[in-house]
């Protein structure tokens, strides 16, 4: 004896939708954090560049006034060298952060695309009548997939 067709229960769909929404929010949060780190690194780079330029002006003036290198000039050159080294490190950090931001954005776009696909799939299931056996099979497949975390 066949049972009547029932649409998929919203109680089955809701956990999946909330999981995808939570993942989306986490991805957006990661992007925002990466952007704030990038902005901070950019500010640090600007500050270090200004310090270097000021040190260069002081160094240039000192070198013009004195023909022989004094301890102060050597210290200044060492500081300049240190600043330039820090500048290079900041540039590398900014490049790394930009790559991470791009990767995070790609992941967020993927999650959003999967979310849209799954929403459309769920709407399709809700609109069309599903035989009970197919409904039961779908419920089992969704439960197994969620337990294995195959559905992102």
- Runs of H (alpha helix) within the chain: 10-65, 71-127, 132-148
Please indicate, yes or no, if residue 2 is contained in any of the structural domains: no
Please indicate, yes or no, if residue 4 is contained in any of the structural domains: no
Please indicate, yes or no, if residue 8 is contained in any of the structural domains: no
Which carries the bigger pLDDT value, residue 143 or residue 22? 22
**What is d(CA 44, CA 38) in angstroms, rounded to the nearest whole number?**
10
Exposed/middle/buried for 65, CB within 10 Å: 0-12, 13-18, 19+?
Answer: exposed
**Domain limits at 77?**
17-148
**What is d(CA 72, CA 77) in angstroms, rounded to the nearest whole number?**
9
Please indicate, yes or no, if residue 11 is contained in any of the structural domains: no
- The number of domains in the chain is 1
Please indicate, yes or no, if residue 45 is contained in any of the structural domains: yes
Please indicate, yes or no, if residue 124 is contained in any of the structural domains: yes
Find the mean pLDDT for residues 116-139: 75
Q: Tens of pLDDT along 12-37?
A: 556 667 888 888 899 899 889 988 88
Q: Tens of pLDDT along 33-52?
A: 988 888 998 898 899 888 88
**What is d(CA 37, CA 69) in angstroms, rounded to the nearest whole number?**
40
**What is d(CA 106, CA 113) in angstroms, rounded to the nearest whole number?**
11
Structure pTM?
A: 0.34
CA atoms within 13 A on the CB side of 7: 12
Q: Tens of pLDDT along 83-117?
A: 888 989 989 999 999 999 999 999 999 999 988 88
1, pLDDT greater than 50: no
Model pLDDT, residue 101: 93
Please indicate, yes or no, if residue 34 is contained in any of the structural domains: yes
């Amino acid at each position: 004896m066949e049972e009547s067709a029932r649409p998929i229960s919203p109680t089955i769909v809701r956990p999946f939708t909330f999981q995808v929404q939570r993942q989306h929010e986490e991805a957006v949060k990661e992007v925002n954090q990466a952007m704030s780190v990038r902005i901070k690194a950019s500010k640090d780079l600007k500050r270090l560049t200004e310090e270097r330029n000021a040190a260069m002006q002081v160094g240039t003036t000192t070198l013009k006034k004195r023909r022989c290198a004094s301890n102060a000039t050597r210290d200044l050159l060492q500081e300049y060298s240190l600043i330039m080294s820090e500048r290079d490190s900041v540039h590398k950090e900014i490049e790394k952060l930009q790559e991470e931001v791009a990767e995070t954005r790609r992941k967020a776009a993927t999650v959003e695309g999967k979310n849209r696909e799954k929403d459309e799939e769920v709407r399709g299931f809700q609109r069309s009548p599903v035989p009970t056996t197919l409904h039961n099979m779908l419920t089992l497949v969704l439960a197994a997939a969620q337990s294995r975390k195959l559905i992102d």
